Amino acid sequence: MNKEIYLIELSKLLKVLPKEELNEILADYEDHFEQAHFRGRTESDIIKSFGEPHVIAKEALVQYEITKAQVNPSLNSVTRAVFATLGLGVLNLLLVLVPFILGLSVLLALFVFSVFLLISPILLLIQDGFTVTYVKELFLILGFVGIGLLILLGALRSTALYYRLVIRYLNYNLNKVRRNWR
């Protein structure tokens, strides 16, 4: 394999990226080839040091998704980054997907619990109707609503923190995988 074939194969593997991103990556590798060539290295040595194009493409795709998630941390972007990271290896199924799903489950439970506390006055009204007991327990009901609001705010804050931690962990995981491949 020579430089042109290497770059063409890399380009094919990265065609899902936006044009600017693809051109930037290809320009970087073109520059690496030129710098190594000026140092007297052969194309085959340079290609060996880079690694297989499919490995480079996987890394670049994961890095792109992680960067997108950092810029716009949402459930969709973070999930896309997680699933892109799964493509780096089978072990990532356990190291990335399981903690991600567990964290999402905890957050979902917090949101559901807070919603139930917030709608508890309505549920109690539906169950018993507007009775003397309902009026007696008004402060208790208001307490449930207040606790529900606090849990909801905590869940919202925790979600933002969770996204940052997941993105940080994905970057850490990508760096570990890169070191193991080289």
For 66-98, the pLDDT digits (tens) are 999 999 999 999 999 999 998 887 777 888 999
Confidence of residue 163 (pLDDT cuts 50, 70, 90): very high
Q: How many Cβ atoms are within 10 Å of 38's Cβ, its own excluded?
A: 8
pLDDT reported for residue 156:
96
Confidence of residue 157 (pLDDT cuts 50, 70, 90): very high
Q: Is the pTM of this model over 0.85?
A: no
Q: What is the mean pLDDT of the chain?
A: 89
* Stronger pLDDT, 73 or 43, i.e. the higher one: 73
Q: Express each pLDDT in 114-143 by its tens digit.
A: 999 999 888 777 777 777 777 778 888 889
Q: What percent of the chain has pLDDT over 90?
A: 56
The mean pLDDT of 33-46, rounded to a whole number, is 86
Task: Give percent of the chain with pLDDT exceeding 70.
Answer: 99
Q: Which single residue is written with the structure tokens 């960067």?
A: 67
Are 163 and 107 a contacting pair, CB within 8 Å?
A: no
As given in the structure block, the two tokens for residue 151 are: 């849990």
Tell me the mean pLDDT in the region 158-167: 95
- Grade residue 181 by pLDDT with cuts at 50, 70 and 90: low
Q: How many CA atoms lie within 13 A of 21 on its CB side?
A: 15
Provide DSSP, 48-95.
HHH--HHHHHHHHHHHHHHHHHHHS--HHHHHHHHHHHHTT-THHIII
What whole-number distance in Å separates Cα of residue 100 and Cα of residue 106? 10
Looking at the chain, how many residues does it have? 182
